[in-house]
Amino acid sequence: MTAFPRLPTSLKLLAGALALSLQPFAQAAEAPPAEVHLDYAYYSPVSLVLKHFGWLEKALPDTKVSWVFSQGSNRSLEYLNSGGVDFASSASLSAVLARANGSPIKSIYVYSRAEWTALVVRKDSTLKTVADLKGKKIAATKGTDPYLFTLRALQQAKLTKDDVELLHLQHPDGRIALEKGDVDAWAGLDPHMAASEIQAGSRLLYRNKDFNSYGVVSVTERYAKEHPEAIKTVLGAYEKAREWALKNPDEFAQLLATESGLPLDVAKLQLSRTDLSSPQLTDKDVAASKAAAPILVSEELVRKGTHVDEVIDQLIDPAFGKAVIGKP
């Protein structure tokens, strides 16, 4: 048998001291955070499932989990930027806009791919096309997917935001303004859009699935560096909620109706336009965001000199999803 030389005592002591010195750092890296703050939203139905069943609370028993209601992507990203939430649900293009304007965030998971926005008019409106909106009032929530959808629709009709009067109202207020006749059109968002269709007979003036961006969960870069295991735990809980929603469509619709306070047929209409099958961020998502990026530059929604393609490359991080999605 070959005899291996013994390490000098001094080297043994050094190795032991090094191991002991690194131990607190290893433990600190794995320790769950004392608190986790997430948003939930009617436009992110899976977040409602996650909150309702308490699966994240069970996955993080030593962590205080708190929930903050979000009315739209702009509010969600404001909460993330200010530290009000650690995980924010927004439209992907809204996240691009936030990152391009200085918010150090990363998008890590797709909570849905939905046709959740369109340009909506009253049932008695004489407007037929986007071009007819020239000189008209449109309600839209600035910084959200419906707002960006509106700009892209106007651009396709050879109009700009200067050709219309945009009123920056939160999504529920936009619906009210439309139905009261205070605006001519509204950049709708489900479930408010579905509710207006069913309850007020509102009509979708313009639809374009390609102009709808997908829904993402984002975190700050700092949180991604400091709490990678917590992120994986949260996404694992999201996956449990998503899989439950896919397996229980009727119960899912009832839960959305109950949580939002809207009729069941409204919830079913929203979910008929919602795809939960592909939560992983991919190269196709990067390409889709880059295809939509020019509107941010042409409408001067980002700072001058911003290279939006580089921003998107920095924003989209599929690694966390790959570590969780499809894993038992």
In this structure, are strands 117-121 and 35-40 parallel, antiparallel, or unpaired?
unpaired
Q: Choose one of 151, 181, 211: the last residue of a domain.
A: 211
Distances (CA, A) of 317 to 13, 128, 217: 41, 41, 11
pLDDT value at residue 11: 44
In a domain, 141, yes or no: yes
Query: What does the pLDDT look like over 267-313, one tens digit per residue?
Result: 999 999 999 999 999 999 999 999 988 888 888 889 888 999 999 99
Residues 152, 103 share a domain = no
Give the pLDDT band (50/70/90) at residue 326: confident
Q: Choose one of 183, 211, 239: the last residue of a domain.
A: 211
In a domain, 27, yes or no: no
**Number of compact structural domains in the chain:** 2
For the chain, give the mean pLDDT: 91
Counting Cα atoms < 13 Å in the Cβ hemisphere of 304 gives: 0
Q: b/e map of 146-169 (b: 16 or more CB within 10 Å)?
A: bbbbbbbbbbebebebeebebbeb
Query: What does the pLDDT look like over 87-117, one tens digit per residue?
Result: 999 999 999 999 999 999 999 999 999 999 9
Give the pLDDT band (50/70/90) at residue 131: very high
> Can you tell me the distance from the alpha carbon of 196 to that of 201, in angstroms, rounded to the nearest whole number?
6
Q: Choose one of 211, 240, 274: the last residue of a domain.
A: 211
Residues 240, 149 share a domain = no
Query: What does the pLDDT look like over 199-241, one tens digit per residue?
Result: 999 999 999 999 999 999 999 999 999 999 999 999 999 999 9
Counting Cα atoms < 13 Å in the Cβ hemisphere of 314 gives: 17
CB 183 within 8 A of CB 126: no
Query: What does the pLDDT look like over 316-325, one tens digit per residue?
Result: 999 999 999 9
Range of the domain at 195: 117-211
Query: What does the pLDDT look like over 65-91, one tens digit per residue?
Result: 999 999 889 999 999 999 999 999 999
Average pLDDT rounded to a whole number, residues 176-198: 97
**What residue type is 220 in one-letter code?**
T
Which tokens sit at 152? 């892209």
CATH of the domain at 129: 3.40.190.10
Residues 218, 108 share a domain = yes
Residues 80, 227 share a domain = yes
Residues 218, 107 share a domain = yes
Helix, coil or strand: residue 77:
helix
pLDDT value at residue 181: 98
- Tell me, what DSSP letter sits at residue 110? E
pLDDT over 50 (residue 261):
yes
